[in-house]
């Protein structure tokens, strides 16, 4: 029986594709969106609903059961309430000021080689390594300060630029926002729940595609060409620093050979990008299958992939470029109704298990 607990269990296991096909499942998600003390109180007052239970968990069950009796009417009053609350929130956000603040970040450097957890990085790199108190303290002036500062600034940029991008989606008539946070759901497009993921064309994806094509690793190729061009570089430096040094020196040398090397790398990346644009489902599948373990999710996802073709490393700057973001997102949402559910369906494997989700990719390319 598809009762409250059925949908609760599905949501907790992040199997959201069934919600998209079931009117009552969607009602469960929308009801969950307003289960916050201030929201639920306002909603039941506005709609003259009386709840006997106290406590949000029990009120959620009671409200859902009441709304399930007349689902069509309930969807209508929930949609109206949620859209009304969203209009207020959109009006409260000073978009111009926020964009101005985001433009103050000039470099996007994490300051460490950690992936998902700064605390884990600090413990493994410093706490468990240095027995000397004075040595550890000395690291605060150099390495630790840089790592923490980079982490905080980049996290700040990602947080507020994501809110900015979400507001672009939530301002479109085909989109129903979630006014209260729901795990794995940022909004609904034509009643399909999606979690928005803003990302770039991943370096690891480019690397795997190069391998498929029989192309050498970019750094290996660059080192070889640097030797041919008689460019000296620090062979003991980190890979990212070596890559940067060689590219910059080739740009500075600016002869025919160096120009050709840099153009070759760029053309190869553009070809991989073109392939992804022509078959976005393959990229979506790759993104699902190559998630970090700490952030794994099998929910419906809408990937917004940002690419600066002049310098792929500067793609992070597009997160604040409203002139590019707005028309691209609007065009996608305007045409979303033409998409078929089966075209959005993707199956992927993760640690030996197979998952199914609804997904799509929007490319924002400069």
pLDDT of 115: 53
Query: Would the pLDDT of 215 be above 60?
Result: yes
Nearest to 32 by CA among 169, 163, 185, 172: 185
**pLDDT at residue 92 tops 70:** yes
Sequence spans of domains, the chain: 94-159, 212-272
pLDDT in tens, 165-201: 999 999 999 999 998 888 889 999 999 999 999 999 9
User: What mean pLDDT do residues 216-233 have?
Assistant: 95
E strands of the chain, at which residues? 175-182, 185-189, 192-200, 301-307, 345-350, 353-365
What integer best gives the mean pLDDT of the chain?
92
Average pLDDT on 303-308 reads 98
Asked whether 34 and 40 are in contact (CB, 8 A), the reply is yes
Q: Per-residue pLDDT averaged across 120-125, rounded?
A: 80
Is 77 in a helix, a strand, or coil? helix
Asked whether residue 73 carries a pLDDT value surpassing 80, the answer given is yes
The whole-model pTM stands at 0.88
pLDDT tens per residue, range 254-303: 999 999 999 999 999 999 999 999 999 999 999 999 988 777 888 999 99
> Residues 165, 319: contact at Cβ < 8 Å?
yes
Token pair of 233, please?
């570089």
What is the pLDDT at residue 114?
55
Q: How is the beta sheet containing 301-307 ordered, strand by strand?
A: 175-182, 185-189, 192-200, 301-307, 353-365, 345-350
Question: Looking at residues 62-89, what average pLDDT do you find?
Answer: 95
In the chain, % of residues over pLDDT 70: 98
């Amino acid at each position: 029986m598809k009762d409250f607990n059925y949908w609760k269990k599905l949501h907790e296991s992040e199997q959201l594709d069934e919600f998209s096909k079931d009117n009552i499942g969607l009602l469960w998600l929308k009801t969950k969106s307003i289960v916050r003390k201030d929201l639920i109180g306002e909603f039941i007052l506005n709609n003259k609903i009386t709840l006997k239970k106290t406590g949000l968990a029990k009120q959620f069950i009671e409200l859902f059961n009441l709304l399930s009796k007349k689902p069509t009417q309930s969807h209508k009053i929930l949609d109206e309430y949620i859209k009304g609350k969203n209009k207020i929130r959109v009006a409260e956000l000073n978009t111009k000021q926020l964009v101005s603040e985001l433009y103050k970040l000039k470099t996007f450097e994490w300051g460490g080689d950690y992936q998902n957890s700064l605390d884990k990085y600090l413990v493994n790199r410093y706490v468990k390594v240095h027995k000397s108190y004075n040595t550890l303290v000395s690291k605060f002036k150099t390495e630790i300060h840089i790592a923490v500062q980079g982490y905080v600034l980049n996290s700040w940029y990602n947080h507020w630029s994501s809110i900015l991008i979400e507001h672009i989606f939530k301002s479109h008539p085909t989109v129903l926002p979630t006014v209260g946070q729901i795990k794995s759901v940022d909004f609904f497009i034509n009643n399909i729940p999606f979690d928005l993921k803003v990302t770039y064309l991943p370096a690891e994806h480019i690397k795997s595609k190069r391998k498929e094509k029989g192309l050498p690793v970019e750094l290996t190729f660059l080192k070889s060409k640097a030797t041919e061009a008689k460019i000296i570089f620090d062979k003991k430096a980190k890979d990212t620093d070596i890559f940067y040094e060689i590219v910059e020196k080739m740009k500075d040398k600016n002869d025919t050979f160096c120009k050709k090397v840099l153009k070759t790398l760029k053309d190869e990346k553009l070809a991989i990008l073109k392939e992804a644009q022509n078959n976005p489902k393959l990229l979506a599948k790759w993104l699902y299958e190559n998630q970090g373990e700490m952030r794994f999710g099998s929910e419906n996802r809408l990937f917004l992939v940002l690419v600066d073709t002049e310098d792929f490393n500067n793609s992070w700057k597009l997160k604040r470029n409203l002139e590019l973001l707005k028309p691209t997102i609007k065009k996608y949402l305007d045409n979303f109704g033409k998409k078929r559910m089966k075209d959005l369906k993707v199956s992927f494997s993760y640690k030996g298990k197979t998952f199914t989700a609804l997904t799509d990719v929007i490319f924002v390319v400069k």
